[in-house]
Structure 1
């Protein structure tokens, strides 16, 4: 496919993508949007111009909204035809390509649009689904010979996180404070975290509401998943280490998580399906699945000091995940837990098999014992004030490239 809109070969937002987000146009008008090349497209105005008139189920202009939720909740029987229609409209010699008035009213250079939080997120769950990450953490904090806990290969471990503190790329995160107990101290003290860390993750968003008591199978799970985005689950390792026994993460996690502004549909990722890692021992019946459920998505993280140059500190891939999204959603609901449209499910830290592919500073510096050197000559054990952390994700196969853009966040000092 070739678009009438100029875009670079290596753009994340090719005609094969068609992501969805929410933008502020002309600093005053908010609407749902898509992006192709460096052009952000106002979908509400495109709807008013009649380009979606014959799509069954799209009876109202759901794009005149501050979030994607109303659109997502229409289900794939509507959202997928909308995506296909947009691809058709962006092709060379399409009806839209000849409609200069609509192009002028709907298309904006990316630097003229402020992307905002794309979703209202009722609930958020964070999984722990990378065997490499879980093994590294087990070696660091427990018995290196028995790094994985007994349940890890039997179920997708997860916990319910805080949805209210999830923010979009570009929003600064303040260094959190809490109780910290050094190893050689008799009692804890209160202060800013000294071990602020990123966690490289991907997340998926669901498109429906279910009743309590209903379970989603691995077979139907992907029909419930609208799309994915990049997720940075910020962590205060020293606060977390003291507080997490016996109930798990709390203040070390809930101060902030950052997401990319564009949601990439599962349909756009179809060309990049790959087989999941072999699961041994065999999983229980409700976690069994058929077909390729993992996705070959390349990931990277860069750290940029204030007024400095970015250093790429890790490169990983989403295909390494031991537990896939269908299994995560099936396990999440097997007890009858209901879901809500817009709920977000993060993968957990994505680490590859080599050190250069680890998904957190905790692993990359081996809990601070092996600092990373940046291009400006400084080193990092963990993230420092005024550092900007940027995560990127994209998939490519031949001429087809589909990307997520980036999530970029600056850390500011604690008050």
Structure 2
């Protein structure tokens, strides 16, 4: 019987495991280290500043700058960080701070009589008093309705792709107006795609501005403070006070989650993106079908009505929706018992990242509707990891006293994670 099993080995899962390891918990961590980051196309860069991209360990000994020093490079403000360097940093962090990472995936998490029952992808069964679910963003990929169900030969999500060389000489339509869409389109042009177009509901593209220097006078620092989510006081509130965000009225949280830090391209991408000549804004796909000559026929609606577009492939760079219905690793009886917030069906998360099922803790994107926009970025791992492990330790003590671990709450809130 384990005290804690961490499901996931991205920035949040590794950070939680690093904090749990120092407390002597009987711990197992499962997942392929930085899997989604390693899968990104070469040539991509982080949108976040390096100083806002640290994983979290209790002593803060294994930050990104420490890893960069081992590579003989510097992670510098205002200089885009290559994704492959960041993925390597996560692997190094795991070796330094996470004991015995098991790179198998967990296939299911189910409730037991007095603990959680887990099963690995190859069939090993194990039991845990508490579970931290940190599965990243991949289970929550959002693809526009008319494109769902079409074969991956014709439609993919931007997260499906490593290298993009399969599209050399082909006609590709990228759907979206955020960083993933704009950078994917740029890489496609640079990689030799014959035709690349952007199709987006937005009526204009948004671009982040060049960040001001860190070393500024006192008045500029007060007027427009730096934060890990960009400059400005609103972003500072999102970045520094997720606990305050959680206490806002549910309707306010939902509105902010749906609108804050909307789609925008990084400042350093704008010049490269100029090579994408076909940008169609204020338009969206209403129907899609495979034609007789094995292309995609898209019905595209915009201000001037509906038109027909043919393309070889559509890449949907349309983000992620943190819905419990997509958390397939959770057994149906566990998933169905969790309290939810918002129209998207995200789980309700308590003050120390515990769900409404005692002993089941959540980290990363699934907690963003409760804790705010910072949980959509690596930045949120620092706020999450130590607090979540504190909640685990309290829950273990409460479970030993009252037998609560692994049993659903029937109403109200538990004081353990208040």
Q: Give the TM-score category using the shorter length.
A: under 0.3
More helix by percentage: 2
Structure holding more strand per residue: 1
**Which TM-score applies when normalising by structure 2?**
0.22
TM-score, normalization by structure 1: 0.22
